[in-house]
Structure 1
């Protein structure tokens, strides 16, 4: 989202300057930035996000320190390559960079997102099952939380039938459920040296989750 926001802002500036050059110039810039490579800035920014996410989920001290910096450096390198291919390589350099570097990088990023979402579903299924058994989560809601399609379906239903505020509550509920599952996963793997802090954090997640469900009208059953 950060990359998309930056790209939108930068595109407005480019389109504004292109208007001064006439319809031909504006058309060229629009096709280049809006159709050929609309994913470029989100791709660059995602490298930093991947580095931060990898660091967050790893218990290796070296990875925790180096991955955010490595992701940031990779974002800089990709951006510099993209700009340099057009500035110094001409049309041939731009096309070569597009198909040999940017295209494969985009595909790899999509694959990373796919496997990350699948892993998230597995973690949610494993670590929120106890909440389904206790009655905090309804079985249907639990199953939907385990898949991106189910989450999107619940969010879309909330938006179209109950309005924007309920959509925001549903999205927040999905997020808190995932954070709770990942918190339990990290605790299981030995993350965090203070058990009391971990228990307090879990209690906070459970309290937020229950409050959001009550807001959504899904009142949890009494825990068994």
Structure 2
């Protein structure tokens, strides 16, 4: 019921924002803007998906985030910004001042708040999928990518309309080309960069122990949101810093911040892989995991090799089972890590048992594939795993002369 209501809201928002943008740009300008604005979207989504490879979140969360940014957040922004700018213009009788104030104060507050709403909704209602900084970065970044997509359609469509009125055409000196260069080539990451600060605040709050530091859990996302607003305002106001103010802010501020946040995200991802290698060996003695599993699951290369192996010998069903095994094992390792630090919830034992049973149900597909992946990825680090060719029913590998007798692959 809740999902249906939310989907209906996003659909209505999408139709309304589509009509508003088309009204402002004209049909031809809208189509040109749409064709140009879509170009950076696959690259940005792929970058955030790559960052989320250790524990990929469900696609439904990413689809919701992008749709919220492109439809609901964009609609809120275009309506609220227009209303606020007109009100300031009427109150001050100074259109230039109203535009400047709208761009540097009103727009950052409205737009970042609208985008942060998507992160908040996932944080509240998809809590199992939101466990740390990487999740916050991905959800915030995808939301902002959707928002920038709609905003770029508007800017590029208006630029094309300006060129049509002036008779400039579509050359390199056109307003459309200049707008495309600034918004799509130079700074496609601008909106994601702002909103990622909000996502980091939510991510740190998500990683904290349940029931502790409630005030900090509220203040951290708020601090991230304020930082996003401040950075957004600084970026929007760069054009008022002189002829080369925009380029100075871009080179001296935006690019370094982008580099730092990228490094932080990759560092956190590597720390998750290290946590997997450290936490999962505890389950080997109990028989839940096979000896090669911790290393294979803590190596992106070994995980990819395992999925490729399963696809080659077992088809899509085997590959899906191995991917699900990897996801469940990752969740188990991070859950155990939080539990040892006193940050797991009251449902720790229940959740742990659910994940272990999910692993057990997929072990027949996953163990041979992960054994292969671990041996190929780091043969010098592991005891010998004897590979006897394509898996045969009943016996595919031996590990220290101990047979794996679980193999559902069929040929």
Q: Please confirm whether the aligned pair reaches a TM-score higher than 0.5, indicating the same fold.
A: yes
CA offsets, 1:127-168, max 9 Å, x none?
22234455544555532321344445556x3898556x8777
**How far apart in 2 are the matches of 1:17 and 1:99?**
27
Match of 2:179 in 1: 29
Match of 2:203 in 1: 53
Larger Rg: 2
**Bigger mean CA offset, 172-181 vs 94-103:** 172-181
**How far apart in 2 are the matches of 1:51 and 1:176?**
25
Match of 1:4 in 2: 145
Match of 1:218 in 2: 366
Question: Does the 8 Å CA contact 1:158/1:170 hold for their aligned counterparts?
Answer: no
Deviation at 1:15, TM superposition (A): 2.2
Q: Which blocks of at least 5 consecutive residues in structure 2 are unaligned?
A: 1-141, 164-168, 369-403, 406-411
Alignment size in residue pairs: 215
**How far apart in 2 are the matches of 1:132 and 1:74?**
44
Match of 2:224 in 1: 71
**How far apart in 2 are the matches of 1:166 and 1:18?**
50
Residue pairs, 1:157-172, within 5 angstroms:
157=308, 162=315, 172=324
Match of 2:189 in 1: 39
**How far apart in 1 are the matches of 2:310 and 2:153?**
29
Match of 2:71 in 1: none
Match of 2:330 in 1: 178
Deviation at 1:17, TM superposition (A): 2.1
Match of 1:113 in 2: 265
Higher helix share: 1
The root-mean-square deviation of aligned C-alpha atoms, in Å, is 3.1
2:247 maps to 1:95 = yes
